[in-house]
Amino acid sequence: MTEQTTPGPTAGAAGALTGQVAFITGAGSGLGAAFARRLAADGAHVVVNDLQPAAAEAVAAEVGGDSAVFDVCDSAAFDAAIDAAVARHGRLDIVVNNAGIAPPTDPAKVQQAIANQMARMEDRIDQLVPSNSTIDLADADWDRMIRVHLYGAFHGTRAALRHMTPARSGSIVNVSSVLGLRPVAGAPHYAAAKAGIIALTKSTGQEVAPFGVRVNAVCPGWIDTPLLAPMDPMMIAGIKMQIPVGRMGRAEELAELVRFLAGPESSYCNGDVFAASGGVG
Ligand SMILES: NC(=O)c1ccc[n+]([C@@H]2O[C@H](COP(=O)([O-])OP(=O)(O)OC[C@H]3O[C@@H](n4cnc5c(N)ncnc54)[C@H](O)[C@@H]3O)[C@@H](O)[C@H]2O)c1
């Protein structure tokens, strides 16, 4: 775990979150980076976690925050980073458990899925070939997926609550997915991890609600970030056809929802789950 302070262009921005400290995991890229920019724009001091040091440091420099480089699967490193942020800044107001990974895409399975769709459309159900998404899932892949998402969110929630519950204040936002709300075939480990985050959110939200702490979850639909870069263009085209608004979301659109849940405007939201999915969720 490394941590450094880097004054940047939005350091000291005045806004509704001025004086508050936010800790965001996986904030070196995509959604997390957009969350960091949005919270910093309203005055929060942001601690930018990521596994990738250069990415974390670049976003931290941009938003005038700190970088904290560690793996969210490592609970001791997570505890130490949260404790260090509180020691340095004297408080912790917002934690966004966002770090995540995508299941690897297998071009052969994509082609088979497309062939199966054609067979379904032509009523050739007897010609469907099993995808074997679950049979072919290795223990290590299942384990890593659950660890990064579900263990990561648990580690962050527990470390944050140790400070927020005594302070009788704080907002935790967990990043789930529409695939946690409405799982589809193909990545059972991702769906299970994201559904677990929803249950974690509801349980901990109920636990700490009487003590001034809020825990909520966001369920993004398909958002245009580097996470989706390895996906087959045919798959992307097929996904877009199923999105009622007809396009992928932008990270900045999700950042508005996270900003709402992070701040006092969402004072009656606790243990609640919010999709932003263009109609998919
Ligand atoms: N992009 C989408 O369509 C979409 C949809 C639903 C949910 N999500 C969720 O949103 C979150 C952010 O995804 P994104 O699209 O911005 O992806 P991204 O790949 O752009 O960013 C994810 C970041 O998390 C970091 N990371 C990965 N594992 C980590 C770990 N163990 N410890 C610390 N950092 C780690 C990566 O280095 C990366 O910088 C993920 O939880 C993802 O599952 C994304």
Answer yes or no: is the C-beta of 50 below 6 A from any ligand 1 atom.
yes
CA of 31 to the centre of ligand 1 (A): 7
- Alpha-carbon distance of 271 to 281, in angstroms, equals 18
pLDDT at 257: 98
The dihedral sign for the CA sequence 9, 14, 15, 19: positive
Q: Give 231's pLDDT tier (boundaries 50, 70, 90).
A: confident
Residue-wise pLDDT for 174-211, tens only, equals 999 999 999 999 999 999 999 999 999 999 999 999 99
Per the annotation, the verdict on 268 as an active-site residue is: no
Specify the residue with its C-alpha closest to ligand 1, atom 19. 227
Alpha carbon 258 to chain centroid distance? 10
The 10 Å Cβ neighbour count of residue 155 is 23
Answer whether residue 104 shows pLDDT above 60: yes
Q: Is residue 281 part of a domain?
A: no
For ligand 1, what atom is nearest to the CA of residue 148? 31
The whole-model pTM stands at 0.95
Quick check: is 22 in a domain? yes
C-beta 10 within 6 A of ligand 1: no
What does DSSP say about strands 273-276 and 213-220: parallel, antiparallel, or unpaired?
parallel
Residue 172 lies in a domain: yes
pLDDT band at 83, cuts 50/70/90? very high
pLDDT in tens, 241-266: 999 999 999 999 999 999 999 999 99
Q: In whole angstroms, give the CA distance from residue 124 to residue 116.
A: 9
Residue with the nearest Cα to atom 17 of ligand 1? 227
Q: Please tell me whether residue 97 adopts helix, strand or coil conformation.
A: strand
Domain that holds residue 52: 2-276
Domains contained in the chain, number:
1
What does pLDDT average to over the chain? 94
Q: Percent of the chain at pLDDT above 70? A: 95
Cβ of residue 174 lying under 6 Å from some atom of ligand 1:
no
| 271, part of any domain | yes
Mean pLDDT lowest among 23-27, 124-128, 152-156:
124-128
Mean pLDDT of 47-53: 98
Q: What is the CATH number of the domain that holds 41?
A: 3.40.50.720
pLDDT, tens digit (0-9, with 9 covering 90-100), for 1-45: 555 444 444 444 579 999 999 999 999 999 999 999 999 999 999
Choose one of 225, 242, 252 to mutate for the ligand 1 pocket test, by most ligand atoms within 8 angstroms of C-beta: 225
